Amino acid sequence: MTAALAILVGALLLLSRMGSEFIPTLDEGSYDVMVYRKSGMSLEKSLGMEEQNEKTLRRDFPEITDVYARIGTSEIASDPMAASENDLYISYKPESQWPRGPGQPKNKADLTRMIKDALDRQVPGQEFDFSQPIQTRFNEMLEGVRSQLSVKIFGQDFNELEDLAEKIQKVLKSTPGAREVNLETNGRTPSLQMDLRRDQLVRYNLRAQALFRDRFIGVVRKRHPLSQGKITPARYAACGHILVSRQALDKGPIDQALEPLGLQRQIVTIVGGFATALALARSSDLIATVPDRHTRALRAGMHSFPLPVSMPEITVSLLWHPRLDADPAHRWLRGCVRDSCKA
């Protein structure tokens, strides 16, 4: 009995020191390196830096067998990225075939460090996120990001966001067990907002099809103060709001509708998508203003209400070039979109 109890105590002590991940990371025999450069960099400049990366790797590392990169976004974009970013795929020999001697890597960790140091020295101005092809895809499917852990910061002031990101990066770099702590964005990305004239699209051989009409509504969590009683413009404006803007604008059409009433919303944070806005509203007292039909499935379990100010309806349309009609996958996808919008 005493021996069994001792074994149990020893096993529990050992279990407490093992951590939470029991399966070691498998070596896939290759790297999938995400390369980040300054936002807004031209494609020509980015390509030039990537060519220098590949020349450096082929010249300085006999352990490497193959290097190639994927940069930019294709016409049928399943994994879009800016011209300032690219995937760098690196294949290497088995460790038993690596050259041995002073200054040579002894294991994969050494090779990773030496590759990063060489690229930082030969081609400065880049950030690297080292992973593996299969591991990267699983991380993207499970977490929405390529890394195992990520920190997302929301706010209105871009300068303040950059300062906070740098402070968080320093804290994470000093955390035991953390490695390759990088900022995914570096600098501001210019954006262009276009209002399309349907009568002129024909001149450029573009096709557009209206899918459905939609209207904006307010959404809050369950048992939010606005879920009870009449919602007046004053009550609506007095609460904290989430603004959805890919251009990081600090005002929208709703703010313009409130101005004649002498009211102004308190914008607490700005996000780039409706799904993010609803996720924040679900776990806080903030109000998300989103399209009704477009976000119906995302609002399950939340309280929705009509806006207390007049807002015009919007039209959600499908836009494509006729050359995509030759692609059966694209035709099938367009059909799925149309069928789902009719449902």
In terms of residues, how long is the chain?
Answer: 343
Over residues 159-169, the mean pLDDT reads 83
276-281's contacts with Cβ under 8 Å and 24+ in sequence apart are 276/154, 276/244, 277/242, 277/244, 278/219, 278/302, 280/154, 280/242, 281/219, 281/220, 281/221, 281/242
Q: What is the pLDDT of residues 82-124, one digit of tens each?
A: 778 888 999 999 999 999 888 899 999 899 999 999 999 999 9
pLDDT at 29 over 90: no
CATH class of this structure's domain 30-150: alpha beta
> 263-281: per-residue pLDDT in tens?
999 888 888 788 888 999 9
The mean pLDDT of the chain is 83
List the helix and strand counts (H, then E) for the chain: 10, 11
Same fold? 30-150, 201-316:
no
Give the residues across from 316 on adjacent strands: 212
More confident call, 206 vs 91: 91
Tokens representing 213? 């009409």
Distance (Å, rounded) from C-alpha 207 to C-alpha 319? 6
Q: Where do the domains of the chain lie?
A: 30-150, 201-316
pTM of the model: 0.50
Topology adopted by domain 201-316:
D-Maltodextrin-Binding Protein; domain 2 (3.40.190)
